[in-house]
Amino acid sequence: MSSVYKNRSVLSEDYQPEAILEREDEKQAYGAALSPILNGGKPNNIFVYGNTGVGKTAVTRYMFRQLDDRLNDEDKDFTVVWQNCRNQTTSYQVAVSLVNELAPRGEEIPETGYAPPQVYNMLFDLLDDAGGTILVVLDEVDAVGSDDDLLYELPRARAEGNLKDAHVGVVGISNDYQFRGQLSPQVQDTLCEKEITFPAYDATELQTILTARAKAAFDNDAYDEAIIPQAAAMAAKDSGSARQGLDLLREAGDLAAEEERVIDEETVREAVDRLERTNVRRSVQDLTNHARLALISTTLKTVEEKERSRTKNIYEKYAVLAEENGDDPLGYRSFQNRLNDLSMMGFLDRSTVNKGERGGKSYTYSVTNDPDVILDAVSELNY
Ligand SMILES: Nc1ncnc2c1ncn2[C@@H]1O[C@H](COP(=O)(O)OP(=O)(O)OP(=O)(O)O)[C@@H](O)[C@H]1O
Ligand SMILES: [Mg+2]
């Protein structure tokens, strides 16, 4: 077989699909929230929520493309400033990035050295220079955590007299449901003027999305069509994320290309396994020494006991491993915390056992991934 792909980039993260499928309700809600702009009114502030991979970024980009086309046709002044906040943990950092996004080339400012009010003033001046209607999109905005100063200042800049020529709307996008609750009440009031929620995709919806992408990405005879419902069902069951489904198709395509075979259901099963191995390897790599030992001991216990293990039993195993490894074992309490961290990170599944009359709780743990996959990942790290 000569090739698998017609266009592999169709399955990549930064590909922007021409058509947004299966999101009619959300597009409509978005359109309604944006409609004042079309009528020359003041833009709403909008908050967009939903789990990872459910189309928040893709739909937002699509809506703005459409809006931009329409407003440009009508010769209206309309600007979108898009900022991904992923690596920006403070309002200050985001404000600097926005300034640099808007500043003329050569007039960018360094990331430190200004007082926050100075940066905000520069930002307001630049927004006023641009004028017209401006939407500031803060994607993955939860990265700023509780430092929501900018989210307070920006939506009320005009009311406070800091903006004269520009009408600014803020669009915040987040996959962290707790983030909204952490915002100060004033910020919640203004920023969440309109809220749009994106639910997880079900298998049928994912099938529509994956069918279109597979057609554009793969050669016609490179794949068995049965892989589409298969991949859709897997992603729907696990996360409801279109990204997960697309990742699966790409991994299966790569595997088929390497081995010069057709992508069939067996290829997809192998791709699932490969993706799991890659993910586990990546996350194990980032663990501290003791967290890794705690994970290994839970894994070994799960294999030995063939059932969930109690903290006490895992700790005994851990203490032996740590000694063998030449490390001082953590105390019991710290070890409990380590197990708790591993559950929060998704490595372990924890459940509570009530200890009966004298009250008190204890926990049992099992590993969420295939034990072999974990142990392979650890040994590859040359532990
Ligand atoms: N309705 C859809 N139609 C076509 N493609 C879609 C649709 N929804 C999602 N996708 C595709 O799935 C992938 C993930 O979508 P997107 O990046 O929009 O997720 P997100 O909700 O922004 O996730 P995160 O919270 O992780 O940023 C992208 O490649 C996107 O093109
Ligand atoms: Mg996104």
Computed over every residue of the chain, the mean pLDDT equals: 93
- pLDDT tens, residue by residue, 237-288: 999 999 999 999 999 999 999 999 999 999 999 999 999 999 999 999 999 9
Is 70 exceeded by the pLDDT of residue 93?
yes
Among 237, 257, 284, the domain-final residue is 284
Q: So what's the pLDDT on residue 254?
A: 97
- pLDDT tens, residue by residue, 19-69: 999 999 999 999 999 999 988 888 999 999 999 999 999 999 999 999 998
371 found inside a domain = yes
The CATH code of the domain that includes 228 is 1.10.8.60
- Can you tell me the mean pLDDT for 78-105? 94
Position in ligand 1 atom list of the atom nearest CA 245: 12
Å from CA of 89 to ligand 1 middle: 23
Provide the pLDDT confidence category of residue 1 given band limits of 50, 70 and 90. Answer: very low
Residues in the chain: 383
How would you label 3-22 residue by residue, b for 16+ Cβ within 10 Å and e otherwise? ebbeebebbeeeeebeebbb
Q: So what's the pLDDT on residue 307?
A: 87
Q: So what's the pLDDT on residue 312?
A: 94
Q: Is the CB of 61 under 6 A from ligand 1?
A: no
Statement to judge: residues 179 and 231 lie in one domain: no
| 3-state DSSP of the chain | CCCCECCHHHHCCCCCCCCCCCCHHHHHHHHHHHHHHHCCCCCCCEEEEECCCCCHHHHHHHHHHHHHHHHHHCCCCEEEEEEECCCCCCHHHHHHHHHHHHCCCCCCCCCCCCCHHHHHHHHHHHHHHHCEEEEEEEECHHHHCCCCHHHHHCCCCCCCCCCCCEEEEEEEEECCHHHHHHCCHHHHHHHCCEEEEECCCCHHHHHHHHHHHHHHHECHHHECCCHHHHHHHHHHHHCCCHHHHHHHHHHHHHHHHHHCCCECHHHHHHHHHHHHHHHHHHHHHCCCHHHHHHHHHHHHHHHHHCCCEEHHHHHHHHHHHHHHCCCCCCCHHHHHHHHHHHHHCCCEEEEEEECCCCCCEEEEEEECCCHHHHHHHHHHCCC
Å from CA of 54 to ligand 2 middle: 8
Q: Is the CB of 243 under 6 A from ligand 1?
A: yes
Statement to judge: residues 183 and 292 lie in one domain: no
Statement to judge: residues 269 and 336 lie in one domain: no
Q: Is the CB of 56 under 6 A from ligand 1?
A: yes
Among 284, 316, 338, the domain-final residue is 284
Statement to judge: residues 50 and 121 lie in one domain: yes
245 found inside a domain = yes
Report the alpha-carbon distance of residue 13 to residue 27 in Å, rounded: 21
Å from CA of 31 to ligand 1 middle: 18
The CATH code of the domain that includes 373 is 1.10.10.10
186 found inside a domain = yes
Statement to judge: residues 96 and 183 lie in one domain: yes
Indicate which ligand has the atom closest to the C-alpha of 27: 1
Indicate which ligand has the atom closest to the C-alpha of 247: 1
Residue 18 exposure: Cα atoms within 13 Å on the Cβ side: 3
359 found inside a domain = yes
Statement to judge: residues 245 and 275 lie in one domain: yes
Statement to judge: residues 151 and 255 lie in one domain: no
The CATH code of the domain that includes 170 is 3.40.50.300
10 found inside a domain = no
Boundaries of domain holding 292: 287-380
Statement to judge: residues 187 and 231 lie in one domain: no
Q: Is the CB of 58 under 6 A from ligand 1?
A: yes
313 found inside a domain = yes
215 found inside a domain = yes
Statement to judge: residues 181 and 55 lie in one domain: yes
187 found inside a domain = yes
| Of 73 and 109, more confident | 109
User: Cα 71 to chain center, whole Å?
Assistant: 31
User: Judging by beta carbons within 10 Å of its beta carbon (0-12, 13-18, 19+), is residue 49 exposed, middle or buried?
Assistant: buried
Query: Going by CA atoms, what residue is nearest to atom 17 of ligand 1?
Result: 57
Among 198, 223, 258, the domain-final residue is 198
Q: Is the CB of 57 under 6 A from ligand 1?
A: yes
Contact 358, 348 (CB under 8 A): no
Number of domains in the chain: 3
Statement to judge: residues 278 and 328 lie in one domain: no
